Amino acid sequence: MAVQSTLAVEVQQSYPHQNGRPRLSIWEYLKLLTKATTIVPLRMAWYILRIVYFSARRRFNIKYYVFCAIVDAVFTSFNDREIQIYSQPTVDAYYTWVNSKLGHTREPALRQRLVHDIQPLGQTGGSLLWIGNRRKASKIVLFFHGGGYIAPALRGHYDWCWNAYVLAGREAGVEVAVGCLQYTLLNDGRFPVPLVQATEALGSVLDSGTSPSDIYMGGDSAGGNLTMQVLSHILHPHEGIRPLQLSEPLAGVFLVSPWLSNNVFSDSVKRNDGNDMISTGALDTLGLALYGEDQIKAHKADVLAGDLSAANPYMTPLDTEEAWLDGIGDVTSRVYLTVGKNEVLYDQGVRLVSLLRRRNATCQIRLDESEREAHDFILVENIFGKPGDATSRMKSWFKGTITAS
């Protein structure tokens, strides 16, 4: 049984602005309370014990892996609306982060880069939350946060952008500003809503007069997926969404632990399930929110049988013909992809790089594989306020590109 393609979704002229947490019914609150006081504590305890054993034996950072276990337990146990009840909304996290950063920053030059600057994106329901001075910046980074299209941006995302891009630019003598996209989350934000908003974000930066060669774009996990959606849209314009024609390639694209396929039967899924921030249970939660129970079950069967006819190439570019991404060198000059060898999505990142190289993509391609990392460790480092190896690698790549251009 084939799943009806999500390409059939009609593109609207406008979308409601998603602000704040969802409103749950009394019944939903009762179910949430029951979960939170029964199965979740037991599941979380088991996940933590299991991952402590895994990470301690290998002398990995136990604290980071415990965080992975907690996230896995949350995504496995709760649905999208329940997760959002517990989460600080993207815009609220932005205000909190800016205020906190200002409270710990004394240098006037840095304080000038820390202002509340929110740019609405027309009627799309999205907005850009700016870090740095976009009016003085010569390099722009468009950042799409991860969270499975379910969870909002975390303060760690904003620290990552500050440490890896704004401060990297300052050290290189280049003014950099980062526009963090606030996009509509599931359940309202099913495809193509985030793509509409991300496309408008890139279009607005181009409309401001910024050259494509001065624009970077990327994100983590689902944010990496959304980045690939925008690249696919430039190569294959989606009907009803603003087309983007570039006069030259973008400066670069960065993908951190990107989600690129619905194949949950790969070696890295089997090998790392239970030792990562993402598990097959968490992927089931994402699948239910994206497609619904009947469709995701059918799609799993199709993938296992090798039938990818119902796949949406914008969302899962590894589930379609290899020629889909041909011409990517005309869209971006560089692709930087980083994955942890202990993450479920490891095979997907490696496959994308292999595909681009095999198809003779003309852009510069760099793949970083970390032996000690699981999913999205650059985010984990910044959540704990300790930018480490993952942040350093991203910062080094970015600084090298802005000084070379």
- Going from N- to C-terminal start, the domains of the chain cover 88-404
pLDDT at 2 over 70: no
Backbone angles phi, psi at 122, to 5 degrees: 60, -135
Mean pLDDT of 375-391: 98
Confidence of residue 7 (pLDDT cuts 50, 70, 90): very low
Q: What is the mean pLDDT of residues 344-357?
A: 98
What is the structure's pLDDT at 27? 94
The yes-or-no verdict on residue 52 having pLDDT over 70 is: yes
- Report the pLDDT averaged over residues 349-368: 96
- As a whole number, mean pLDDT of residues 258-280 equals 95
Q: Using one digit for the tens of pLDDT, what is the confidence trace for 292-330?
A: 777 777 776 776 677 766 689 999 999 999 999 999 999
Higher pLDDT, 2 or 275: 275
Note the pLDDT of residue 300.
67
**For residue 133, with 0-12 CB atoms within 10 Å meaning exposed, 13-18 middle and 19 or more buried, which class applies?**
middle
Confidence of residue 4 (pLDDT cuts 50, 70, 90): very low
Question: Taking residues 259-263, what's their average pLDDT?
Answer: 92
- Higher-scoring residue by pLDDT: 144, 264: 144
Determine the average pLDDT of the residues in 108-132.
96
Identify the CATH class of 88-404: alpha beta
Flag the least confident range among 4-13, 103-112, 171-180.
Answer: 4-13
Q: Is the pLDDT of residue 269 over 50?
A: yes
pLDDT the model gives residue 372:
98
In this predicted structure, which of 33-42, 196-205, 297-306 has the lowest mean pLDDT? 297-306
Confidence bin at 382 (pLDDT 50/70/90): very high
Predicted local distance difference test score (pLDDT) of residue 6: 46
104 vs 303, higher pLDDT: 104
Judge whether residue 62 has pLDDT over 60.
yes
Quote the mean pLDDT of the chain. 93
Name the percent of the chain lying above pLDDT 70.
Answer: 93
Q: What percent of the chain has pLDDT over 90?
A: 83
Using pLDDT thresholds of 50, 70 and 90, give the confidence band for residue 404.
confident
- What integer is the mean pLDDT of 262-275? 94
Are residues 142 and 216 in contact, defined by beta-carbon separation less than 8 angstroms?
yes
